[in-house]
Amino acid sequence: MSFAKKNRRRFEPLAAQRFVLPRTPTFPMARVVVLALLSAVAAAWAIAYHYTAPRPPMLVPVKPHPPAPSATYDADAGEIPVELEPPP
């Protein structure tokens, strides 16, 4: 059985003990930098646009409607008026 027979030494020392930096994830870092630059440019544009764009004119209030007629009552039908002020 070839998979059971292993002719390797149990401990193999590292070939070269030199300092190696770990691989940096360049694409995700570049994506973050690009998004940060885009957001900074967008914020600067928004502030500049806010302070330089002409403002629309203020809305003019609509003329008030004439007051609604007061409620009437029919005394012949047995209705009585509502008193809003308490009696003295």
SS3 assignment for the chain:
CCCCCCCCCCCCCCCCCCCCCCCCCHHHHHHHHHHHHHHHHHHHHHHHHHHHCCCCCCCCCCCCCCCCCCCCCCHHHCCCCCCCCCCC
Determine the pLDDT at residue 56: 85
Q: Looking at the whole model, is its pTM more than 0.85? A: no
Determine the pLDDT at residue 12: 59
Determine the pLDDT at residue 34: 95
Mean pLDDT in order along the chain per 10 residues (88 residues): 63 62 79 96 97 88 77 73 64
